[in-house]
Structure 1
């Protein structure tokens, strides 16, 4: 009969499912608020704007890595954001084939409006959980993710 390895696998699976469920619920609640603000904006568009608000000027591949979407999906999202004048593409000074993505003032305005809503939802999700417990969980998830990246 399988031992502890199987138990760890099952618990890790449950953790992954619980994280997916939390993300899905947060996404639904954030999308509801976004729809009240601007029905033409999607969670995915806001997600890209949020990444740029924390790391402005990164390229499409870096955005793709941060949201775990393929580069063609990110290209589509960025094209949509460019059309709405929320971001702009600029040639990378070191590599002209590479484009850096920057928030426009209009994009920054949207983030300044939407970001507090998202923070409030995350605060609600945290409830009475201590910052230390959340930090430990974050470290745990990062270690598990690193374990996957270090495998063949």
Structure 2
């Protein structure tokens, strides 16, 4: 029986994600960052100071992976780890001024990448695609 992988949505999402990840990695390498590290900066700008466990949940990573990401960002002076006022065992992750400046640069760079990614798509098509991808994410997260 012949199988036509070209008819599989998951296959095409995976291929597109692979190309997208490679493009992001190439661009972020110019700043000595990984995609995961950049996501932390974006999350801290978007949601403000956060518990490490909150970041871990938002990034869908394991605790050990989150520890590595945080350690690397600490070494680069992009974040700080502060004690919680209510529980000293709990650490709050905070962006440094250097981290904020880098995030702003990265955001502008990814904006250019996003424009290239969506070249030829109408605003309506982009919105439809976002809606469908969010639904797929929700289906997989259940």
Query: For 2:8, what is the secondary structure of its paired residue?
Result: helix
- Structure 2, unmatched stretches of 5+, are none
| Count of aligned positions | 137
What per-residue deviation string (whole Å, max 9, x for no partner) do you get for residues 60-109 of structure 1?
A: 22222333321211111111212222111123344443222110111111
RMSD between superposed Cα atoms in Å: 2.3
8 Å CA contact retained: 1:89, 1:100: yes
Q: TM-score, normalised by structure 2?
A: 0.79
Q: Does 1:28 align with 2:25?
A: yes
Instruction: Spell out structure 1 runs of 4+ moving beyond 4 A.
Output: none
The counterpart of 1:106, out of the listed 98, 101, 113, is 98
Match of 1:4 in 2: none
What per-residue deviation string (whole Å, max 9, x for no partner) do you get for residues 36-72 of structure 1?
A: xx4x433432232122122221222222233332121
Q: Does 1:76 align with 2:68?
A: yes
Match of 1:3 in 2: none
8 Å CA contact retained: 1:30, 1:43: no
- Structure 1, unmatched stretches of 5+, are 1-6
Q: Does 1:52 align with 2:49?
A: no
Equivalent-residue separation in structure 1 for 2:53 and 2:13 (angstroms):
25
